[in-house]
Structure 1
């Protein structure tokens, strides 16, 4: 038999390994990330050569897959005991009959490969073949602490990412060690099952069984499985159709490893395309791979990261931690075209962990890359989730470590926010100084008066109880007082609307504040959640969603009016002169010009309930202003 499954006394677990589902949800991007990270972890120490990973996607004959007929009979013996396992088994049975199947392979060079293959399941910590091939949840640790700290893997579950990418949960690994010895192993993840009058575990190994020890096969299989240079090659047959995507693989390489590639630590070949330090900038600037309009980069930020890292000088930020401090290099750029501000947190191996969003600053116009050293790597590694895509305290069980992690993330956010705010102040200097003494005095008096009105007067009843009156009036419940009849309250009409569009008045003006003889327009205040606003270097885009309101949304055109909101949240009516702030206005979709007057923009088209306005800014425009918006129809 080519495949070995361990016997068990009975079936106790009827589900597939749950880690399979987690890695399957990450798609081919997660698969690519996991396997390249493994290759970087296996790099030759003290070598100046970059790790080279060759990724091939293609088709292969099912008959060329080692031990495939045994796999077919095993899968036919599986019995699902719930709807999920039944569905999965049915999918496996349908997929395993094709004569030609999809595959993907990851072959690395300038790496160590696995050691001790000829000893098989030796349980020797120096033999990495035994750890990789036959131990689940185990991560080999290097003796060199600095080298170990820089490695990406730590959870010991990433190996199963390759199984998750196969319709049959099947993968192979071909190894060539320092002595040129070549071996082939493999694993398959099924469920516990009954087969030929015995019960078996869910995991099967492509191995020989010598007494009670698993031993690998010498690699004589050739073709896709051949590996004759030092290193490791992963082969995944029966590749899921959704994973068979060369473009997505290329994006995944650039997204996760752009720093390793730019630092010449990594070269990746994807079929006929080479991604290296000389080509990656060109690749990320191609529309077939990435969105090129900076304001539209709201989920994927790789072109911005590459530009930031290549064009900006790093600044040092220090985070206090325990009795020491962690020091990072921050590459930072501020660009008002950027819609979403993110920090690419990168390990020294050159792998990006997370698109970090600083709390309350996710929409600030900046982009940054953060890289630490060996000590910083060690700590970041302890905060990573198992798929190496996020730092958090969630995986920590010790309360003290969890508190330290939350504090670190909080202080990291504070440092990044400080850099953002410094750049905003530098770009938007205050014009002169303002004496705020009168403002503060008036505000304090108003506050005291409003507070007094809210709480009313306090009276002492019989020297014992405190009775609070409402709105400054006597309390009706005090003894000796005749209880007054409550006033009848008249129902007040309301213009509140669940659609976020509220009618306010008839708007009667000619644009210069002069009366007109024509029929006045209806004016509607627009709720802030219906307004999207984007400021660029010399333009402003305003998008107003009027859908869902019959009185406004079905109109063909409208006028737009806006009033400034001051620092106290008060609306300043008529104080914002449009002519002194905007040079030109036009519909963003049709480029049809709209007339600008002192207090209103006229003739703005409404297309399917949406207003899209592009405004050209004058140098006098103050970017820090906030507005309330009105539509006139």
Structure 2
């Protein structure tokens, strides 16, 4: 029987160019995407009859380009036809891809990445059909597998300049086999009939069957008959300057930390091995590895979660009574929340399912409690339901992903989980809110340093891009938290004193440089009672120092301090709640008072009149929340 590249074709098929949506979705961070997807697939294929961990290895090598099986079928038949087809269509993107494809095909050697898994079932009939022959679906061993969309198999093609992958498998149920897959582009298969168009995907197979019996190794060692699992050979791996070994290890600890600590996963990258016993050592090595800003942010979260999962001071909580109403939750043990209070906390909760793969970080739990946490859905039915809520990349749970009949149930579950997170964190660690001051806008004032040994304050002598540490000095003679507006002046004076603000008036100062106000403005028509006029609101926050202080957060009382650099006839102040991710939500202001200026309140927008340069404006606010909140102020000059 003859082995060759087969290009499926038919009459009037839709031509497909280079922009494959599935492949393109993994191009932003190819190493992370590849690592996450292939390890996820391997964990899904774990042999359930034993408790041994899945082993996934990554090995780099090179082969002669001429060693690509039946390369002439590609270089002399498919590529010239594709080039001619897309030149006629004039599609620049596909033509550029084909030019690069030819350069790689004509090079002397190409890079190969071999990814192998062990203690897995390999590709039996159903999983082989879904992975190699199917599109947009998958076949998993059970319903609690991490993947479900059938999109992750595109990740290996995203890092190949040839978009070529060979699968070699020793399955538990059928004989060893291999096959080549190339995600190419469409072309005119028959010169005599232009309506005969190929599909974009080609297979290297034996004539008459969709695979080739036996193994392929590309100069590596063949598997033993009892070494069940699959090898993925990615041919034509793109050149990337980054340290691939460290990048793969970084992605592994970021996405599969729980799996590793549970001894469900061992990862080998060339000669480096990552497992339960040395994960701390690998994490310490990765801490010194040069990372991008985004990678640093993610890795910092990983450090938090590692501490939460291993620290002896962690606290563990099972689901409470509210979850008994859900038909897919059989016990309070179906979900577990692990919490830890730590100084450098990220105030987020890592959410995972049975596989241990990271889904996403749940934020906005608490703005004032220094904690980190991990949520684990370990009940099989709960795991199955949450799986149905995941997006294509398995990075979010959304009720919109659920079936029509389950969407309301999904919304209630996600809300209950969020509320449970917040209440559990608060119950575990919250101090009395009357002892906490939430100060926003500190960057608008002179920074203060506190010497822990002497207790003396010193002004910062330079400018730093980062804050190394924050220390709070408490003055027992001046309590900065109050239960009412009337008795809060002393507290504000204390705050102003600590900030080195001048509380004296200079109301006779005239406004200067008003013409330098930002030209960028928003013209709004305000529908006020008994009044219609056009007003121009000009962003003016740069002309103010602003600070918000919690007076009594239980009663929703805050004080806003404004220090203007110029004088203004009228300004509009809007207060926003600030989330952990930096997102802003407009606050509902129920009441506002001032002892310094005339104020008006309409639809939570505060109008302040007669602002004087260098004269403090004090506003007492009441919001509609009893939680201690982070807030920011937006200031606009009102021009008529």
TM-score tier after normalising by the smaller chain length: 0.5 to 0.7
Name the CA shift for 1:390/1:434 in 2 (closer, same or farther; >3 Å): closer
Using the alignment, how far apart are the partners of 1:300 and 1:394 within structure 2?
30
Larger radius of gyration: 1
Partner SS for 1:207: strand
Deviation at 1:188, TM superposition (A): 0.9
Partner SS for 2:303: helix
Deviation at 1:154, TM superposition (A): 1.2
Q: Which residue of 1 aligns with 2:305?
A: 305
Q: Is the counterpart of residue 113 in structure 1 residue 89 in structure 2?
A: no
Q: Which residue of 1 aligns with 2:254?
A: 255
1:86 aligned to 92, 95, 119, which one? Answer: 95
- Whether contact under 8 Å (1:341, 1:365) holds in the other structure is yes
Q: Which residue of 2 aligns with 1:265?
A: 264
Partner SS for 2:210: strand
Partner SS for 1:367: strand
Name the CA shift for 1:336/1:87 in 2 (closer, same or farther; >3 Å): same
Deviation at 1:34, TM superposition (A): 0.9
Q: Is the counterpart of residue 15 in structure 1 residue 20 in structure 2?
A: no
Q: Which residue of 2 aligns with 1:207?
A: 205
Q: Which residue of 1 aligns with 2:169?
A: 175
Q: Is the counterpart of residue 216 in structure 1 residue 212 in structure 2?
A: yes
2:79 aligned to 67, 75, 78, which one? Answer: 75
Deviation at 1:283, TM superposition (A): 1.9
- Whether contact under 8 Å (1:138, 1:156) holds in the other structure is yes
Q: Which residue of 1 aligns with 2:277?
A: 278
Deviation at 1:106, TM superposition (A): 1.1
Using the alignment, how far apart are the partners of 1:402 and 1:393 within structure 2?
5
Q: Which residue of 2 aligns with 1:454?
A: none
Using the alignment, how far apart are the partners of 1:330 and 1:42 within structure 2?
27
**Can you give the 5+ residue segments of structure 1 that lack an aligned partner in the other structure?**
117-124, 143-147, 440-467, 472-488, 505-520, 536-565, 574-598, 601-622
Q: Is the counterpart of residue 341 in structure 1 residue 382 in structure 2?
A: no
Using the alignment, how far apart are the partners of 1:216 and 1:300 within structure 2?
46
Q: Which residue of 1 aligns with 2:64?
A: 61
TM-score of the two chains, using structure 1 as the length reference: 0.64
CA RMSD of aligned residues (A): 4.5
Deviation at 1:254, TM superposition (A): 0.7
- Whether contact under 8 Å (2:261, 2:276) holds in the other structure is yes
Q: How many residues align?
A: 470
Using the alignment, how far apart are the partners of 1:422 and 1:60 within structure 2?
60
Give 1:379-390 correspondences, 5 Å limit.
379-390=385-396
Name the CA shift for 1:363/1:297 in 2 (closer, same or farther; >3 Å): farther
1:156 aligned to 108, 132, 150, which one? Answer: 150
Using the alignment, how far apart are the partners of 1:18 and 1:222 within structure 2?
29
Name the CA shift for 1:469/1:334 in 2 (closer, same or farther; >3 Å): closer
Give 1:372-411 correspondences, 5 Å limit.
372=377, 373-396=379-402, 398-411=403-416
CA offsets 1:560-593 (integer angstroms, 9 cap, x no match):
xxxxxx99666799xxxxxxxxxxxxxxxxxxxx
Name the CA shift for 1:253/1:406 in 2 (closer, same or farther; >3 Å): same
Deviation at 1:7, TM superposition (A): 2.2
Q: Which residue of 2 aligns with 1:39?
A: 42
Deviation at 1:25, TM superposition (A): 2.9
Give 1:542-621 correspondences, 5 Å limit.
none
Using the alignment, how far apart are the partners of 1:285 and 1:569 within structure 2?
51
Using the alignment, how far apart are the partners of 1:292 and 1:423 within structure 2?
34
Q: Which residue of 2 aligns with 1:314?
A: 316
CA offsets 1:95-132 (integer angstroms, 9 cap, x no match):
3222222222211112221235xxxxxxxx4xx33343
CA offsets 1:396-440 (integer angstroms, 9 cap, x no match):
4x443223222222222111122333355337565999876999x
Partner SS for 2:381: helix
- Whether contact under 8 Å (1:225, 1:235) holds in the other structure is no
Using the alignment, how far apart are the partners of 1:244 and 1:9 within structure 2?
46
CA offsets 1:276-318 (integer angstroms, 9 cap, x no match):
111111222332348899xx84775111111111112321234
1:195 aligned to 189, 200, 220, which one? Answer: 189
Using the alignment, how far apart are the partners of 2:630 and 2:14 within structure 1?
65
Using the alignment, how far apart are the partners of 2:362 and 2:630 within structure 1?
28
Partner SS for 1:186: strand
Using the alignment, how far apart are the partners of 2:133 and 2:116 within structure 1?
20
Using the alignment, how far apart are the partners of 1:179 and 1:374 within structure 2?
26
Name the CA shift for 1:234/1:291 in 2 (closer, same or farther; >3 Å): closer
Name the CA shift for 1:572/1:274 in 2 (closer, same or farther; >3 Å): farther
Using the alignment, how far apart are the partners of 1:332 and 1:528 within structure 2?
38
1:236 aligned to 227, 234, 237, which one? Answer: 234
Q: Which residue of 1 aligns with 2:5?
A: 3
Q: Which residue of 2 aligns with 1:137?
A: 136
Using the alignment, how far apart are the partners of 1:255 and 1:404 within structure 2?
30
Name the CA shift for 1:240/1:423 in 2 (closer, same or farther; >3 Å): same
TM-score of the two chains, using structure 2 as the length reference: 0.63
Using the alignment, how far apart are the partners of 1:429 and 1:625 within structure 2?
15
Using the alignment, how far apart are the partners of 2:51 and 2:158 within structure 1?
34
- Whether contact under 8 Å (2:177, 2:211) holds in the other structure is no
